Each structure stands twice: as C-alpha cells, then as structure tokens.
Amino acid sequence: MFESLDACLADCRDRLIRAPRDRKSPMHTPVIVTADVDARVMVLRAFDAAAWRLRLHTDTRAPKAAAIAADPRIAVLFYDKGAKIQIRARGTGEILRTGPEVDAAWNASTRFARRCYLGEGPGAGSDRPTSGLPSEFAGVEPDETQLLPARANFALLAITLTALDWLYLAHTGHLRAQFTREAADGAAAWAGRWVSP
C-alpha cells in the first residue's frame, strides 16, 4: 500500500487537500502548537498544495498572534483514527491582517462566524460563564453594518510547511517516513527518508 516515499508524501498532500473541503475529515481540525508550547485545535480552512501552505482563521487579539510574531515556528498535528495515519508537521507561521486573501476569507465567512470577532478578545477574563459576545448578539445573526467593527479583529494564520513526519499504524508493522525541504517558498523539493516508528 505505502511502498515508496513518493506514495507517503502523496498521501500527506491528498489528505491535506481533502481536510479543509470535508468537515467530516478527521484532519479538518488539527492541533496547532506555537513556539510558546501552547496547543489548540483549529479549523483548517484551506491548503495550497503547490506551496504546502495551510490557512486558518484567527483573532488578532488572541495570544497566539503575539506568540507567532515573536517566534514564527509552528507544529501541526493531524490524526485520522480510521485510517490509522498521523501526520506531524512543522513550519513557519504568519498572521495576515490585511490584503485580498484576508478580505476574501472574511467575505466568504457566514455572518454567524464573523460575529465571533465582535466579542471580547480570546482569553479575556469574566466573572461568569460567557461566550464573550455582546448580549445583543447572543443567538442573533448581525447584519453587515453591525459586523463592521469585527473586521479589525479578524486575521488569517498562514503556515508554510517545511517538515512532515508521516506514521501509518498497522498490526503487521508500523511505517514511518519523514520529509524536509530547505526553502519555504514552495519551490524546494521534499527530501524523504524512511525511519523506524
């Protein structure tokens, strides 16, 4: 089934292509780890297979935005329990606040999704359980005018992958392959090697 490094790398690529398009894909919600060793589950919104670049949505006020600005190293963990495949990836992250790509992602989001950026910033303290949303938007879809202030809090997290660790768990014997590339511009080819699981 996975008898070549090319097949393993293609499996990584194909799974990442499917993940943002299929909400039922187990790899749709990877664990993102910033250099400050904080981890969180996020929704993968897009994958550029030519550049090996992941795109996720974030709040500019989130602690991870400051962490990435201070140190752009990021790790990503994907796991498909049914297929018994784990992909650990490393790369560099960037918070994108403005530009056509950010505007397109904002405009493609539903008003309910954009509503999240109207509330308190992630991690803001509260004396009671809270969604952080202003009370007038609890369970209510805002209109475009009401969403205008939220746009300043919306950003993209772009992660350009530079290392992959692919693991297939099989009762006949696990298989593991690692891949690296020197440049993070999409032009560099991946170099792969088999390693012991």
* Residue at 166 is within a domain: yes
CATH at 71: 2.30.110.10
* Residue at 130 is within a domain: no
* Residue at 139 is within a domain: no
Residue found under tokens 């202003």? 134
* Residue at 158 is within a domain: yes
Task: Please tell me the pTM assigned to this model.
Answer: 0.94
Give, as one character, the DSSP assignment of residue 135.
G
**pLDDT tens-digit map of 139-191:** 889 999 999 999 999 999 999 999 999 999 998 899 999 999 976 555 679 99
- Give the per-residue pLDDT at 72: 98
Return d(Cα 22, Cα 12) in angstroms, integer. 15
**pLDDT tens-digit map of 45-92:** 999 999 999 999 999 999 999 999 999 999 999 999 999 999 999 999
159 lies in which domain range?
5-106+154-194
* Residue at 149 is within a domain: no
- The count of structural domains within the chain is 1
Kind of pairing between the strands at 191-194 and 39-41: unpaired
* Residue at 175 is within a domain: yes
* Residue at 112 is within a domain: no
* Residue at 122 is within a domain: no
